[in-house]
A and B are shown apart, each in its own frame.
Chain A
Amino acid sequence: MNRATEPDAAAGALECRGLAVGRGSVPVVEDIELSVSKGGLLAVLGASGSGKTTLLDTIAGFIPPLRGEVRLGGRLASDPQRCEPPEHRSVGVVFQHYALWPHMSVLDIVGYPVRRAGRGRSEARAQAASLLERLSVGALAHRRPAELSGGEQQRVALARALARRPALFLFDEPTAHLDAPLRAVVLDEVARHRAESGAAAVYATHDAAEALAIADLVAVVDRGRLVQVGPPLAVYQCPADLPTALLTGPACVLDAAARPLTDGTAEVTIGGATALVACAADDFGSQPAPRLLVRPDWVALDGPFDAVAARVRFRGPHTDYALDTPAGRLDLRVTGPPRHAVGDRLTWSLSRIWPLPGPASAAEAPPTGADVFPTETPADIVQ
């Protein structure tokens, strides 16, 4: 479904160069350098308020940039002087709150982009009906948005974006209001349609698991600036700094002595015990005792190091432990029911570490004592 009108076949689907966007003259988003190849999926990962929506609005053409430029399919679309209106760009947008027109039927909503492309009403309705059928919501064609559930609205919004047949999809947190099972369905649909149409996509989300699962490339945004761009695995294993690490998944920080070796491992010493663990960095800079980032899946029970179980929570398929180690609080997740009780002495091992650059500061330390796993239930608090 790529448009044949693109001037440069080798150009990427989207390029942002030195992009700064703001309200008034104060930039909300700055120094954005991004490129998405044809058929690629870029996840923009950031907390709410970090500027994801502003960035997407700029790419769609709703806001002109203060500086820099946006190129779509190699063609200049926005710079501070000239901002091509969204209706002339080949973009399909799925809005955060879906933005379905309340006065239209689902069929007319999905047929709207077809009508705007110059087709007649009956053809638009026929195309809309077949799109809805493919998304298995054909039965909803004659309803109004107010009569749809959240998931149904989501699919209709997706169908409307598909009906535009764009070269670039923009998703603004489309699953933010859906529960987990529905998210999985929607993500599968996005993946399938992108594969079919060959279009590129930018997917803004605050959910690390979602971003890592679907993207070819993850761009981490923090307070309006791009802090890291890379493949999902790289962003997860080698985050640029602590805030990025916390954005891209659960993480703990240990204060332990470590010595890098040249073969991709490092020697870690905690409480008198020493072990060799995987480490992608071979140079820790000048710091003698860097802070070591540890993901919960890099830790296992039983091993050379000692600890006391500070908290044990059974969560069904797995059990979350919080350990008090000589190097600080450590979280880990183990499949199966609990094997230890609170207060038990136990041993553990480490399979990988990542040294965090920069000096330690109180502001960016992870909240001690709090659970790195996000699901805090009232029962936990009562406990």
Chain B
Amino acid sequence: MAGRTAVRAGAALVAAGLLAALAGAPLVELARIAAERGWRAAFDALGSAQNLGALRNTLIVGCAVTAVAVACGAAAALAVERRPLRERRLLRLAVAAPLLTPEFVLGFSWSRAYGPAGFTDRYLHVQLPGLLGPTGIIVALSAHALPLAYLVVAASLATRPVGQLERAAHASGAGTLTVLRTITLPLLRTPLLAAAALVFVTCVNSFAIPEVLGTPAGFSTMSTLVYDDLNLSADPDAFRQLAAVALTMAALVLVVIGAADVVLGGPQTAEAAGRVTSTPSAVARRSRTATWTPRVLVTAFALFAAAIPLVVLAADAITRAPGLSPAPSHWTLANFSAAMAGETVPALARSLALAAAAAVLIPAMSLAVVATGPRVRGPLGTAVTLAYAIPGSALAVGVLIAYGRWFVGSALIILIAYAGKLWALGHRPVAAAAARLDPALTRAARASGAGPLTAWRAATLPGLAPALAAGGALVLIFASHELTMSSILYGPGTQTLAVVVLNQQQLGQTGPTSALALVLGIPPLLAGLALAHGRRTAAAANATSRRPTTAAIPVTAGTA
């Protein structure tokens, strides 16, 4: 037993050290730089009209998107999750498509499809009013974040017999609206709050959509402000101001998450997981409207939010010059060859190498957290999740201040930021699998004559392996198209693919940008769909086993 204690203590030390280095040190450094001239000066710097405007814009966008995405996502989950299994799977993938599309690709393809001189403008003479500006940012980010809310609510619906509980209310004399008000919504309070927190974090973190849709209209959020400030000035005063903005961003998100956590920590989380039974999903009163409304709305959403913009992007990419119709006579591959010139291929290789390194590193780090034993695992996991909540721009500036001097001209600094930010993505599946592991399995191995290490390898590791792989795959997908942090941390010769695409877009090269955006966007989409499929198969295999309590599982659900 002494050996086990030593292993646990060592693992706890490693995990806590990593957390301190990857999330703690950047935040401390941010605070140190921001307050170099005293907190009063920091507050004054923050009070400039530009900074206050960005703060206000961030709050407006965050709140509006949270309201829209949570309301629509929850409504979609309630409608779709009651459909028969086969249809449900298809509709789920359709809902998830805009989330699987990288944020930059989504924003850029929207501007090409629905913006001025875009596809609908040219052929139908319609534009999405206000696409460039706050309205467009809110609509596009809502489409991007709606699947997050959907997945959180759907995960909670899957672990509770909500259908049964609603039937009981009907049988007690309640009509449809009364059931929604008195049963369904109160039951979903926890996932709805978790979804709101997750969507808000995503909005504050979001950089690409505000940059692509907001900057042309002079509308800046905190993340675009940090990016612009960093690009424009090397003056130490401006840098202090930048650190203050980044720190405010982190504080904003952590306050919101903290508040949500306090509310979620109430009596609701103490509630039992509910009896999850294999009762067949309710084939409730089938009306034609109930059958067709979700189908039509979800299909329309997937078409409008992901399919049409991506098709327009593809058409742009293979057309010789912007403005030409995508007829076969105008087709060319020149955009692709132009796009692949210069920095692109090395940047692509760099992105893949960084993503692969993060995908190996992060599961190993998660293993360290899991190895700390059941009591320490929980708080450490919470800390890892909180690190995810730190907006990418703020974390990147912090990492730059803390470690910049040692990694001049090296892409490793980007890897440090990835490891801190994306840790939660890799950690959640592993933590869930560890919670599901039956400790009796290891004991049975020990009782059959295995030593501690052999028992761990024989009984624990196989149980964690699929989750480690899933976590690694998630990290790989997200790291390969990450933009927010790499756009702040890159230097000459250390661009990532996403940074190259952004720079090209800012130079106004529509064709090559479309071509590269396709390269950037299609693999994550396909990989995400494949992963969703794999998870489903795994879930089907585990259908009979117990599920863990799903109080608030924002991060995994958000990236499934």
* Residues of chain B within 8 A of A103, CB atoms compared: 186-187, 189, 268, 271
* Residues of chain B within 8 A of A23, CB atoms compared: 280, 283
B286 close to A (CB within 8 Å)? yes
Residue contact B172 to A164, C-beta cutoff 8 Å = yes
Q: How large is the interface on B (under 10, 10 to 19, 20 to 34, 35 or more residues)?
A: 20 to 34
* Residues of chain A within 8 A of B284, CB atoms compared: 62-63
Residue contact A99 to B173, C-beta cutoff 8 Å = no
A60 close to B (CB within 8 Å)? yes
Contact string against A for B residues 152-176, beta-carbon threshold 8 Å, 1 for contact and 0 otherwise: 0000000001001101111111110
B508 close to A (CB within 8 Å)? no
Among candidates A86, A100, A145, A146, residue contacting B167 with C-beta atoms closer than 8 Å? A86
CA distance A92 to B267 in the complex (A): 30
Number of A-B residue pairs having CB atoms within 8 Å of each other in the complex:
91
Residue contact A83 to B171, C-beta cutoff 8 Å = no
A113 close to B (CB within 8 Å)? yes
Within 8 A of B (CB), among A239-280: none
Residue contact A85 to B175, C-beta cutoff 8 Å = yes
A155 close to B (CB within 8 Å)? no
A53, A102, A113, A161 — most chain B CB neighbours (10 Å): A102
A373 close to B (CB within 8 Å)? no
Residue contact A102 to B272, C-beta cutoff 8 Å = yes
Among candidates B173, B272, B275, B277, residue contacting A116 with C-beta atoms closer than 8 Å? B173
B274 close to A (CB within 8 Å)? yes
Residue contact B285 to A113, C-beta cutoff 8 Å = no
* Residues of chain B within 8 A of A92, CB atoms compared: 171
* Residues of chain A within 8 A of B165, CB atoms compared: 99-102
CA distance A103 to B266 in the complex (A): 12
Residue contact B173 to A164, C-beta cutoff 8 Å = yes
* Residues of chain A within 8 A of B186, CB atoms compared: 101, 103-104
CA distance A64 to B284 in the complex (A): 8
A314 close to B (CB within 8 Å)? no
Among candidates B168, B189, B274, residue contacting A93 with C-beta atoms closer than 8 Å? B168
Least CB distance from A79 to B in Å reads 14
Among candidates B171, B178, B182, residue contacting A86 with C-beta atoms closer than 8 Å? B171
Among candidates B173, B275, B286, residue contacting A87 with C-beta atoms closer than 8 Å? B173
Residue contact B171 to A101, C-beta cutoff 8 Å = no
A117 close to B (CB within 8 Å)? yes
Residue contact A62 to B170, C-beta cutoff 8 Å = yes
B361 close to A (CB within 8 Å)? no
A183 close to B (CB within 8 Å)? no
Residue contact A101 to B286, C-beta cutoff 8 Å = no
* Residues of chain B within 8 A of A85, CB atoms compared: 170, 175, 285
B445 close to A (CB within 8 Å)? no
- Identify 23 residue pairs between A and B in the complex whose beta-carbon atoms are under 8 Å apart, listed by A's number: A53-B279, A61-B170, A62-B167, A62-B284, A62-B285, A63-B284, A86-B170, A87-B174, A93-B167, A93-B168, A93-B171, A99-B165, A101-B183, A101-B187, A103-B189, A112-B174, A112-B182, A116-B173, A145-B272, A146-B272, A161-B171, A163-B172, A164-B171
Interface residues of B (CB under 8 A from A): 161, 164-165, 167-175, 178, 182-183, 186-187, 189, 267-268, 270-272, 274-275, 277, 279-280, 282-286
